[in-house]
A = this chain, B = another copy of it.
C-alpha cells in the first residue's frame, strides 16, 4: 500500500536494504501525511486570513522577540530554519511591504541587521491570534494531554539528531 514497500516484494532477498515492515510503513505514512496536511493547512489558513505566509510569519516572530526587534541576517536564518539565500530574498520582499528594513551592522561591516518596523509589528499582532487559533483547532484540540506529551517527546528526540546545528 505504501511507497517504500511496494518495491520490497520485488527485491526480497538479503541485499542490504533495510526495508520497512508493515507496522513501520503505517507509522511512517501516518506521520508523513499528517505532517504534510497539517503544515499545509496552517499555512493556507494563515495566508488566506492575513496575507502572511507561515514562512514570513516566522521571520516576523523571530524579530519581534529580540531586543530592539532586530537581528543579524544569518542568526535570523538559523532561527527560521532557512537558508541564507532564502532569507535574503524573503527579507527583500518584506522590505517592499514596509514590514522590515535592513541596516548595516555596527559591529561587523559585512553584516546586516533586519529590523522589524512598526507596520511589521502591527501586521504580526493582527496575524498572531489567527494563527494560534489555527494551531489549536487542528492540533491541540485533536489531542489528549498524553498525546501532546508524546508529540513533544518525539519532536525533541528527533531534534537531538537533526539539529539545531
Which residues of A does B touch, CB under 8 Å?
A: 1-4, 6-7, 10-11, 16-20, 23-24, 26-41, 57-58, 61-62, 64-65, 81, 124-125, 128-129, 131-133, 135-136, 138-140, 142-143, 147-164
Contact = CB atoms under 8 A, between A and B. Distances in A.
Q: Is the interface of A mostly helix, strand, loop or mixed?
A: helix
B155 A33 contact: yes
Q: Can you tell how many copies of this chain the complex includes?
A: 2
Contact of A31 (B16, B65, B152): B152
Given A27-B149, A29-B155, A31-B152, 11 more contacts: A3-B131, A6-B64, A20-B136, A20-B140, A23-B152, A30-B154, A30-B155, A30-B156, A32-B155, A142-B161, A147-B150
B152 A26 contact: yes
